[in-house]
Structure 1
Amino acid sequence: MSATIVLDIGKTNVKLVLLDQGGDTLASRRMPNAVLRDGPYPRHDTERIWNWMLDTLRELGDIAPVAAIVPVTHGATAALVDDNGLVLPVLDYEYEPPAAQLQHYAALRPAYESTHSPQLPAGLNLGRQLAWLAHAFPDDFSRARQILMYPQYWAWRLSGVAASEVTSLGCHTDLWQPARQDYSSLVDGMGWRGLFPPMRPAWAALGTLTPEVAARSGLPSSCQVICGIHDSNASLLRHLPVGCQGEPLTVLSTGTWVIAAAIGMPLDGLREEADMLANSNALGQPVACMRFMGGREFAELAGAEPQVCGIDDLQTLIDQDSMALPCFAAAGGPFAGRAGRIDGPAPHSRQQAYALATLYCVLMSDYCLSALGASGPVVVEGSYTDNPHFAPLLAALRPQQSIASSSDTSGTSCGGWMLHHWGTAPQGGNALATPLQLRGWQEYRQRWLTKSQPGGT
């Protein structure tokens, strides 16, 4: 019985997940995803990830024979490589390049109408990262032979085969035109098109492990390396058959980022000033999306040692009109640039802090769904499925839609498994949420909406 390993690199944690032939988890290992502050700019600790991964692969390989490795990573990240490896460290997308560069880049970036990629802070537009690196480190940049999206960087290190893939290219990068399924004017204007390797499907087997990796990891030399995918698009995979049939469906992919992906919705309602965007799914089709940094904001509000709250804690905060107003992360979203605050009595226990974070993230998710005009069922994937109140509270606000939680708490792992078993439906289903009808919840939402608008009090 062969197994699949998903390398899941999120902004907060790096995970290796071992899944059997049916998609069930056999084992999982994780470590924090640290950002190094030495060197020319904040950078991802790729060598620590690499060494930890190789050591952990040996451990997982002792549990079950491994047939394939699938890289799944966060977006807005790329690696510049030559034949020997990185020519520059992998830049952290939360780094803010010099302000003077922003004006220069504004003249280079394509129109929103062509990319549906809004102008975002820091390096969340990957094109801005690349333009700054080319300007600030011209000699190093000129040595690059390839620009690899982050999942494909790891696939390249494992297999030695370079590829490009649409989901990471189409993730608010300014590099891709989702509707035309082609590179943007920025890529051609900067002369970068030749640096991108051939396009391959996310599910393509690029090759097998290099002899060096096989020897170091202890995995069989026949182990395949799959091209890989952007993490929130991995969460979409099990739902694409529904969306591709023209039936509206929205997936809330939750983790460090909460991304509402409205499969089947048109792009003409997207607005740049609201931080709305079009991602590209694994089939290359554009998907209307809206997002906020919900995992980071939940952690900020819930505290270092969160304690799951009870329904009474939620009701107390609603009754006393305690609410968190956006936003508590500086990395974009519909209320980007605003400083979050707590209005009304502050939480006085860890349970109440968890309750406040829950109410806030439900309201933010509801706001994004409404702004997208999302219709049809909503499925919650990822970390929020561990919160017993999230889906029921959201269901109470949106009685016209069914709200369900995925039985798989990690849509990224499930999506990675699906890439190795392309065309096979995973086991498990979705649990329909029963609306949690708290006293005054609808009125609380209306007050939150009013106070969250510019000039709201």
Structure 2
Amino acid sequence: MTRDQSEARAIIVLDIGKTNVKLALIDAAGNQLTERRRANTVLRDGPYPHHDTEGIWNWMLDTIRDFAATTPVRAIVPVTHGATAALVDDAGLVLPVLDYEFEPPAAQREDYIAQRPAYDTTYSPSLPAGLNLGRQLAWLAWAYPADFARTKHILMYPQYWAWRLSGVAAGEVTSLGCHTDLWQPSRQQYSQLVERMGWNPLMPPLRNAWDALGPLRPDLIERTGLPADCQVVCGIHDSNASLLRHLDAKGSHAAPPAVLSTGTWVIAALPGGPLDDLREASDMLANCSALGQPVPCIRFMGGREFGALAGTDAAPCSVADLQQIIDQDSYALPAFAEAGGPFAGRTGSVVGPALPTDAERTALATLYCVLMSDWCLTALGSAGDIVIEGSFTNNPHFAPLLAALRRGQQVTVTDDASGTTCGGWMLAHWGTAPSTRSHTAEPIALQGWPQYRERWLAQLL
């Protein structure tokens, strides 16, 4: 088979978000042929809340077999949420994969804080629960010393799946640089915590996110029906996958857009922006791009907060519903999720007249997520173009509302409700730009909307 014939085959992206797991089959031109989803269930049996890795594994292999029966596949690319790692030996997991929303004992937290590096070396803010991956690892080593001692590799979550598929252990900077306390983005090296804890020997060789680690394991070829030359790509952290299409070959941009990657988390990133203005107290951080550069970021748990306000089965809302919320001075004040964000520690509240209809509650949730996104963009110093990716692109009011607040900044919306899928495709076709379709959001004409924002901001003081 020639190289051209190989690259004409489809790829599979394994996209593990905090809420859902998705497998997408994408052709050589970047068109999604089909996808399947399942819930990303956290199991409560065993020693602590942990991810259902075996459930995902068996579902994934069965789904891949179905995909392979429809079209030739040349590569599998894992993309996952951050703040998650797997401890493995040659036989597999030595401990279940800890859910980052689990809160280790307070006594361990005090000891860990004394060990963690300074913020201005890692740009990793001190976060609740296990959102600092270093804290998870330190707690596992403290609580389960015999199991931890069996560890051969500490694998970031995308690379855990790549290892299970290929048998090759690798490290990669986007997951290492995702508020883990393990990485120094400016120096592109491990932090002092890794040395202090004696974890250097457990960190596998660093590879590029787009590197092919090798072919699928022979037993998996038989089980899935994939071709023997199907390659497993190293993989990437999900919000960095969304960022990929906005980086040029040198990892910079002439006038870098701010990128809003939306889903369970809403992450505002400013490629090429300065690090000096990052504030730990506001949950601001420097992620690390696939090309190794630090990227100023700020985030909040927007998808979960939207669900808390609107309900899990949110009803559609109209422009009239939005106007009604503004006119009657109803406000949602942060925060409605406990897992970090610039207003972590504050209890969310709804003030103003009651909201009797589902549509009004959706309208309030939409206004809240726009105002929080606007706040985050201002905190980052965003002054240029803004690109919105991810699940909020399905909300017809989100981008126009944001555009009405960010006058002088062009707000565009991608055609891809999952920028992670596009990023995964790019890793398998490294050096090839995707055919990107987007549209410019026209500012929505709501009376009193900027003034509503000012009243909302005043209530945050």
Q: 2:261 is matched by which residue type in structure 1?
A: S
Is the aligned partner of 1:146 residue 2:153? yes
Is the aligned partner of 1:73 residue 2:80? yes
CA distance in 1, matches of 2:268, 2:439: 18
Q: Is the contact between residue 70 and residue 226 of structure 1 (CA under 8 Å) also seen in structure 2?
A: yes
Give 2:5's aligned residue: none
CA distance in 1, matches of 2:183, 2:414: 30
Give 2:121's aligned residue: 114
CA distance in 2, matches of 1:62, 1:400: 50
Q: Is the contact between residue 249 and residue 262 of structure 1 (CA under 8 Å) also seen in structure 2?
A: yes
List gaps (5 residues or longer) in structure 1: none
Give 2:4's aligned residue: none
Is the aligned partner of 1:360 residue 2:368? yes
Give 1:88's aligned residue: 95
Give 1:165's aligned residue: 172
Give 1:390's aligned residue: 398
SS in 1 for 2:270: strand
Is the aligned partner of 1:28 residue 2:35? yes
Q: Is the contact between residue 109 and residue 186 of structure 1 (CA under 8 Å) also seen in structure 2?
A: yes
Cα RMSD, aligned residues only: 0.9
CA distance in 2, matches of 1:45, 1:407: 31
Give 2:308's aligned residue: 300
CA distance in 2, matches of 1:105, 1:28: 41
CA distance in 2, matches of 1:74, 1:338: 25
Is the aligned partner of 1:103 residue 2:106? no
Give 1:38's aligned residue: 45
CA distance in 2, matches of 1:245, 1:231: 20
Q: 1:57 is matched by which residue type in structure 2?
A: I
CA distance in 2, matches of 1:173, 1:437: 42
Q: What whole-Å deviation, never above 9, does each CA across 1:109-134 have from its counterpart, x for those lacking one?
A: 00000000000000000000000000
CA distance in 2, matches of 1:32, 1:369: 31
SS in 1 for 2:25: strand
Measure how far apart 1:427 and its partner are: 1.2
For residue 422 of structure 1, the aligned residue among 421, 426, 430 is: 430
Q: 1:116 is matched by which residue type in structure 2?
A: Y
For residue 334 of structure 1, the aligned residue among 324, 335, 342 is: 342
Give TM-score, length-normalised by structure 1: 0.98
Give 2:324's aligned residue: 316
Give 1:223's aligned residue: 230
For residue 201 of structure 1, the aligned residue among 184, 208, 216 is: 208
Q: 1:357 is matched by which residue type in structure 2?
A: A
For residue 417 of structure 2, the aligned residue among 389, 403, 409 is: 409
CA distance in 1, matches of 2:116, 2:101: 19
Give 1:270's aligned residue: 278
Q: 2:74 is matched by which residue type in structure 1?
A: A
Give 2:448's aligned residue: 440
Aligned residues between the structures: 453
CA distance in 1, matches of 2:24, 2:154: 27
SS in 2 for 1:107: helix
Give 1:128's aligned residue: 135
Is the aligned partner of 1:10 residue 2:17? yes
CA distance in 2, matches of 1:115, 1:374: 22
SS in 2 for 1:52: helix
Measure how far apart 1:378 and its partner are: 0.4
Q: 1:159 is matched by which residue type in structure 2?
A: S
Q: 1:88 is matched by which residue type in structure 2?
A: L
Q: Is the contact between residue 249 and residue 264 of structure 1 (CA under 8 Å) also seen in structure 2?
A: no
Q: 1:330 is matched by which residue type in structure 2?
A: E
Is the aligned partner of 1:350 residue 2:358? yes
SS in 1 for 2:137: helix
Q: Is the contact between residue 253 and residue 271 of structure 2 (CA under 8 Å) also seen in structure 1?
A: no
Give 2:460's aligned residue: 452
Q: Is the contact between residue 246 and residue 253 of structure 2 (CA under 8 Å) also seen in structure 1?
A: no
Measure how far apart 1:219 and its partner are: 1.1
SS in 2 for 1:14: strand
SS in 1 for 2:248: helix
Give 1:381's aligned residue: 389
CA distance in 1, matches of 2:260, 2:54: 32
Q: What whole-Å deviation, never above 9, does each CA across 1:348-375 have from its counterpart, x for those lacking one?
A: 1111111111000000000000011112
Measure how far apart 1:257 and its partner are: 0.3
Q: 1:185 is matched by which residue type in structure 2?
A: Q
SS in 1 for 2:165: helix
Q: Is the contact between residue 183 and residue 190 of structure 2 (CA under 8 Å) also seen in structure 1?
A: yes
CA distance in 1, matches of 2:228, 2:361: 50
Q: 1:62 is matched by which residue type in structure 2?
A: A
CA distance in 1, matches of 2:414, 2:291: 22
Measure how far apart 1:437 and its partner are: 2.0
CA distance in 2, matches of 1:258, 1:163: 28
Q: Is the contact between residue 11 and residue 25 of structure 2 (CA under 8 Å) also seen in structure 1?
A: yes
Q: What whole-Å deviation, never above 9, does each CA across 1:392-426 have from its counterpart, x for those lacking one?
A: 00000010211110111110000000000001111
Q: 1:161 is matched by which residue type in structure 2?
A: V
Give 2:257's aligned residue: 249
Measure how far apart 1:268 and its partner are: 0.3
Measure how far apart 1:246 and its partner are: 3.9
CA distance in 1, matches of 2:281, 2:418: 31
Q: 2:146 is matched by which residue type in structure 1?
A: D
CA distance in 1, matches of 2:308, 2:67: 33
Q: 2:327 is matched by which residue type in structure 1?
A: D
Q: 1:332 is matched by which residue type in structure 2?
A: G
CA distance in 1, matches of 2:425, 2:346: 39
SS in 2 for 1:64: coil
CA distance in 1, matches of 2:355, 2:81: 32
Q: 2:27 is matched by which residue type in structure 1?
A: D
Give TM-score, length-normalised by structure 2: 0.97
Q: Is the contact between residue 81 and residue 238 of structure 2 (CA under 8 Å) also seen in structure 1?
A: yes
CA distance in 2, matches of 1:234, 1:248: 16
Q: Is the contact between residue 379 and residue 430 of structure 1 (CA under 8 Å) also seen in structure 2?
A: no
Q: What whole-Å deviation, never above 9, does each CA across 1:211-234 have from its counterpart, x for those lacking one?
A: 111111111121100000000000
CA distance in 2, matches of 1:345, 1:219: 58
Measure how far apart 1:248 and its partner are: 2.4
CA distance in 2, matches of 1:319, 1:372: 30
Give 2:191's aligned residue: 184
SS in 1 for 2:388: strand
